[in-house]
Structure 1
C-alpha cells in the first residue's frame, strides 16, 4: 500500500421531497424530529468527518433544516440520482479536489456512525483507494430478493459485479452472499467524473448506478461490515425505526 497524506472527509446527505412510495419522506416525524435530522445527527458522531451537509431540492426541507441548525444547500430538482445531487452540493461548497465525499442516504435515521468509520478507513492507508462502499453477509432467502443488491468481490476486496440477482450462482454448493449497503465514499475527482460518464449499459439493465464506475474501470473497494442498515422506504417502517432509536 502506498502512503497517503492527511485527508479531509465530508458527508453530504441528499434529501429530495418527491418519492413515489413516500412523498416528503425527509420530513417524516421520528421521535419529534424530521428524519433528515436523525441522519445528520448520527453522521456527526463520526469523528473522521470534517463537515456534514444536507442537499435538498425543496423549500420546506430547506427551511426545516435551517430552523434546526443543519447546514443545507438548495440543489436542482432535475437530478436523476442522489449522486448527482451530492456532486452539485460538493461543487457549490468548492470542496478541494483531493477531499473524499461520503454520500449518505437520507432515509437511514438509525445509521450507526461506526459504519462511516469503516467506510473511510481505507483512504487513510492507501492513496490508491478511489471509491469505497459496504456490504454484509446475508442469507440465501435474502439473496433471492431483487430489492437487496448483491455484490461479488475479488480476493483484494474490489467489487467484481453488483446485481439484483443472487450472485454468485451455486452450482454444486450454496455460496456465501454479500448484500450491498448503499453508502459510498469517493474522491472528489471521481465524483465529478461519475457525472461525465453518463448512464452505462449495465446500469440501465440492473438500475444500479455503481455499475457505471465498474464499466469505466474505476475500482470500488468493498468493506465488509457486521452492522445492518434499517432504511425507511414506506410510512410503515417508521415505528420500527422509532423503536431502534429509543433503544439507543
Structure 2
C-alpha cells in the first residue's frame, strides 16, 4: 500500500480530573473552550481521515458533541494519555495506520507542525514514532538555561543523529554549549526544544504501552525515553513555528499568558 494512502487519525486525550488543573479541557480561552480550540487545530490539518476526542468524562463528551466533534469514551482506568489514545484508536470504525497524539492543552500548536509529522511518517515507511522539535536561538537558549538555573522543570531538549533519530531527551539543556565561535555566538545553535507532539505507527503504539518503564524514564519523568531504552527509534522532525509562540497550559495561570499570545498574534484557525 502506498504511504500516502495510510489512514491517519488525530486523537486528542482529554481528562476532567487533572490533579493540577481540574476541568482543564473546558476552561475558556478568549471565548472558546480549550478542547474546542485544539479540535479546530486538528481539523485544519490536511490529509487526516479522522479527528476525535478521547475522554472518560461525560461532561467533556457532551461539550465536544455540542460543537460537532467526534468522541470516543475510554475507560477511566487508563493510566496516561498515551494509553487513552491507543484505546480510542482501537475503537474507531477504521483502524488507523498512523496515530497522532495531540494533547488536549496544545492550544497554540500550528496545524502545519502536525502535518510535518504526518508527512514524515508517509515519506519514510521505516519510521515508527515521530515527534517535533524547534531549533533554539541565542535568546531562547539563554532564557531556558536561566530558568533551569532557578529550578524550573518545564522545557525539554532533544539531541538527534544525522538521520534525525533521537539520541536523548532531557529536562536539562542539552547539548552543553561552550562559549566560542561554534557555541552561543553562532546563529545556529545545535540546541532543539522538544515539542510534546507524537505520531505513532499503530503497531508500535500497541507495543509501546506494554513496555516496562526504564531508569532513564524514571529519572527524567519523560515517557518518550521508554522507546529509546527499548531500542525503538524516534524520528525528530525539525519544525518552524513561523514566528508563532509555543506555550502549553499546565495551570490556570497559563490561561492568561495564552490569551495574551492569541491577542497579539491572532488565532491560528477560525472557530
Any residues of structure 2 matched to 1:216-227 within 5 Å, and which? 216-227=230-241
Matched residues in 1 for 2:142 and 2:204: separation?
Answer: 33
Contact 1:140 1:177 (C-alpha < 8 Å) held by counterparts:
no
Task: State the partner residue of 2:6.
Answer: 7
Deviation at 1:205, TM superposition (A): 1.2
Q: Which residue of 2 aligns with 1:235?
A: 252
Structure 2 counterpart of 1:142: 144
Cα distance in structure 2, aligned partners of 1:154 and 1:56: 36
The residue number in structure 2 matching 1:25 is 24
Which stretch of structure 1 is more off in the superposition, 116-125 or 233-242? 233-242
Q: Say if 2:65 is the partner of 1:51.
A: no
1:21-66 per-position Cα deviation (integer Å, ceiling 9, x unaligned): 2111000012332210110011100012111110012121111112
Once residues 159 and 27 of structure 1 are traced to their aligned partners in structure 2, the CA distance between those partners, rounded to angstroms, is: 34
Long gaps (5+) in structure 2:
184-188
Instruction: Give the count of matched residue pairs.
Output: 245
Shift, 1:169, TM fit? 2.4
Deviation string, structure 1 residues 201-224 (Cα, Å, up to 9, x no partner): 211111100011111111111011
Aligned to 1:162: 169
Q: TM-score, normalised by structure 1?
A: 0.91
The alpha-carbon deviation at position 229 of structure 1 amounts to 2.5
Task: Decide whether the 8 Å contact of 2:106 with 2:249 is kept in 1.
Answer: yes
Point out the more displaced range, 226-235 or 166-175.
166-175
Q: Residue 112 of structure 2 is aligned with which of 104, 107, 114?
A: 114
2:100 aligned counterpart, secondary structure: strand
Aligned-residue offset at 1:94:
5.5
TM-superposition CA deviations, 1:158-189 (whole Å, max 9, x none): 10000111211235754631110000000000
How far apart, CA to CA, are the structure 2 residues paired with 1:89 and 1:128? 24
- 8 Å Cα contact 2:14-2:104 kept in structure 1: yes
Aligned to 2:38: 39
Q: Deviations over 1:124-182 (max 9, x none)?
A: 22211111100112314314353111111001111000011121123575463111000
Contact 2:89–2:95, Cα closer than 8 Å, also in 1: no
Q: Which runs of 5+ in 1 are unaligned?
A: none
Query: d(CA) in 1 for partners of 2:40 and 2:179?
Result: 46
TM-score (normalised: structure 2): 0.84
